[in-house]
Amino acid sequence: MQTLEETLNAIGLPTLVLDDHEREFIAGFISHRSAFFDSVCQQKAEKPQRELVLGLLTQSVEQNREAFSSTQATINNMTQLFEEHVGKAHAGKFKTSNQLELAALAKLWFLAQGYNGIDVSYANDHASEISNLLRPDEDSPEWHHQRQRFMQAYYAGIEQHHKNQPKASIFLTIKNQLKKAFK
């Protein structure tokens, strides 16, 4: 049985583009949730760990999304205050820990979705939803950049899944094609 960190590494965590705050948060998340993940893996030993990590991340993203939504009015008021006093350009640099946590967890979640073969339209819809939560102005370049980073994580998961699949030999490929042809 792999640990949470080993499972995340296997599905592509090292390939994600993360800033220092996101790396630090993810390290803490792994440390905090490892015992729970181990317990779930023991209880559901028949399920692949890649599916269990997707479930853990889905639960974590939903919890963080709810926490973020409950503080969003306060965050918006603070942002407006910053815009009034230091200007829009500087106010855009302000980020709460809730925003950073949700963005980091969402990247892991999209990575796991890609690795598990979740439909791209589902991932795209959620990337837009979470981007709207984090940056409500859909016309801003930051909104598009955020959504793009989520989808990059999704495609990194797909790519990692393909890398981890055993390569079929040419002999097996020909054999399978002949079986199909003569059925």
Is it the case that residue 92 has pLDDT exceeding 60?
no
Which pLDDT value is given to residue 57? 98
Return mean pLDDT, the chain: 88
Q: Is-contact 130 107, C-beta < 8 A?
A: no
Per-residue pLDDT tens for 34-52?
999 999 999 999 999 999 9
How far is CA 58 from its chain centroid? 9
What is the Cα–Cα distance from 145 to 137, expressed in whole angstroms?
A: 12
DSSP 3-state assignment of 166? coil
Per-residue pLDDT tens over the stretch 143-169: 899 999 999 999 999 999 999 987 766
Is the pTM higher than 0.85? The answer reads no
* Distance, CA of 151 to chain centre: 9
